[in-house]
Amino acid sequence: MKTETQTNIGEANMARRSFLRFAGAGVAGVGLLAASSCHKDHGVTPPSGTVDVGSGDIGVLNYAYALEQLEAAFYTQVVATPYSGMSSTELSYLTQIRDHEVLHRNFFKTALASNAIIGLTVNFSAINFSSRTSVLTAAKAFEDLGVTAYDGIAYYIQNPAYLAIAGSIVSVEARHAALIGNLLTLGNFATSDQVSASTSLNVSNTPSTVLAAANTYLTTKVTAKSFA
């Protein structure tokens, strides 16, 4: 049974676990505790498994929860193993972003309760955490993706309270995205791949587009079969 302590151990130890390369180490977030002791319906999915976000508003919230898990794990790693030459200003900003994403993740986990999907196993092997360019490029990709994801799923939401929550979060992700763009190149706070040059509207994406990108950083693949 997953408890908060176990989850924290799992997430706080991301840095060590990533070096274990999942070789018999179990699903991140559940840790090395006996998997057989978990009796929840959504169970423990093997690291190479797939999880679907579900349908309706629960599906939307789980979709957001999945993306926030990815971002929280990424920034936790970034701050745990800062890239060469990270300035104190950059460390401060990245630590704050980490804290925001961890809060977003924990918020959705709490709000979803027994409806939450499992803790996802991430795969950051394509990212060089000692390289500023590699890390910030990945960060920009995650933030940009998050904005397009929230914007693209919002019309499915039926409960106005959940739409309000999504609205509260997506603008913060956009603030993050703009900052990361600026850190990479000053002035790149609204690049034309993300903000249309003709209408100046931000891109929005379907869940399948978003998850195709997100799943390249996930060993546990996420699907959203009930959404377009």
Partner 1 sequence: MNLFSIIEEIEKVDPEFNERVSPRRDAIKNITSFGSKVALAAVPFALGTMFKKAYGQAASSSVLSVLNFALTLEIIESTFYKTGTGTSGLVTDTAYIGQINTDEANHVAFLTSAITAAGGTPVTASEFTYVDFTGGAGSQNGPFATVFSNYQTFLAVAETFEDTGVRAYKGQAPNLLGNQTYLTAALDIHAVEARHASAIRYLRTSKYGATVNPWITSTAADSNDTGITQVDANYAGATPENTTTAGGVNLLTLPSIESGSSTSVAVATAAFDEPLTMTEVLAILIPAFVNVNG
Subset of 80-109 contacting partner 1 (CB under 8 A): 89, 93, 96, 98-100, 102-104, 106-107
User: Total residues at the site for partner 1 (CB under 8 A)?
Assistant: 58
Span near partner 1 by CB under 8 A; candidates 31-39, 49-57, 133-141, 168-176: 168-176
Least distance (Å) between residue 10 CB and partner 1:
12
Q: Which is nearer to partner 1, 47 or 96 (CB)?
A: 96
The CA-atom distances, in angstroms, between 2 and each of 6, 18, 38, 180, 217 are 6, 20, 7, 34, 23
- Choosing from 25, 33, 86, 154, the residue that interacts with partner 1 (CB under 8 A) is 154
- Choosing from 118, 138, 174, 210, the residue that interacts with partner 1 (CB under 8 A) is 174
Q: Which is nearer to partner 1, 50 or 168 (CB)?
A: 168
Contact (Cβ atoms closer than 8 angstroms) between residue 30 and residue 10: yes
- Choosing from 189, 213, 221, 226, the residue that interacts with partner 1 (CB under 8 A) is 189
Q: Which residues bind partner 1 (CB under 8 A)?
A: 4-5, 8, 12, 76, 79, 89, 93, 96, 98-100, 102-104, 106-107, 110-111, 147, 150-152, 154-155, 157-158, 160-165, 167-172, 174-179, 182, 186-187, 189-190, 195, 198-204
